[in-house]
Amino acid sequence: MDVRVNLHLEGTGSCSNNPLMCPVGNIGIVLKQRCQKVNRSPSNGQQFILRDYTRSVNRFPVIQIPANALTSPMYLFRELVTLNLDHMLCVFLHQHLAQGAFYLSSGGLTGFHLSADVEVVEIEVVEDEIERSERKEASRFVVEMLSRKQRRVLDLDFNKLVKAGDNCAVCLEELIAKEEIKGQTTEKRTQLITMPCHHIFHASCISRWLEEQNSCPMCRRQIQYEDLVG
């Protein structure tokens, strides 16, 4: 969320009766809420705006600042809370508006009107769909090549390579799945993939992992072309 505040002094006057009871000024707030949908490329970080629109514009009742409120820093904050604004936005506005009001009143200006144009921009970042699709296809290719290359090794030495209690580092579930049939627990063999570094994972898990990273989740060794064809 991006918040922008522009303050405008629209006029000054004087209060002639009881200065402690008359307002030294008032504050008007106009809140514009905008939404931006931004496309960002994961490879180079470049981004551009896909959509930018104004969701709502709210003009709130004027907040009067009495002279005796200048000694109470929380007066303005309490008034902002009554507008049902987001808490963090109240804190942000209070910092800007309190400083402006105090500066004007301490300079001897009374009867001023401080206008605050507030713009809140909610930013939604979406990943480039084409690049995501390409990474997904690349991940499937890598897993298929590793599967072909290591399938014979797993078939011959499965009991040596995979032991009961060994977990997949991606999903943290056991590599050897178990199922109960008629009161008896049996092992259910799922497709496993041995990485070039000899760490073993569920094929579906490592496929999702490789869509984001070209390395082993455990040792971070990157996959090379020779690992697939050598």
CA–CA separation, 230 and 213 (whole Å) = 21
Cβ neighbours around 9 below 10 Å, total: 13
- Residues near 32 by beta carbon (within 8 Å), at least 6 away in sequence: 54, 56, 57, 117, 118, 119, 120
Q: For 54-82, write each residue's pLDDT tens digit.
A: 889 999 998 887 766 666 668 888 888 89
Q: pLDDT tens for residues 92-132?
A: 888 888 777 777 666 666 677 778 888 888 888 776 666 66
Beta-bridge mates of residue 54: 34
- Structural tokens at position 5: 């505040």
Indicate whether 226 pLDDT > 80.
Answer: no
Segment 80-96 mean pLDDT: 86
Selection from 186, 31, 46, 14 nearest residue 127 by Cα = 46
Set out the domains of the chain in order of their start, with CATH numbers.
Answer: 2-127 (no CATH), 129-229 (3.30.40.10)
pLDDT digits (tens, 9 = 90+) for 121-168: 888 877 666 666 667 777 778 888 777 766 555 555 566 677 777 888
Q: Which of 145, 118, 104, 143 is nearest to 56 (CA)?
A: 118
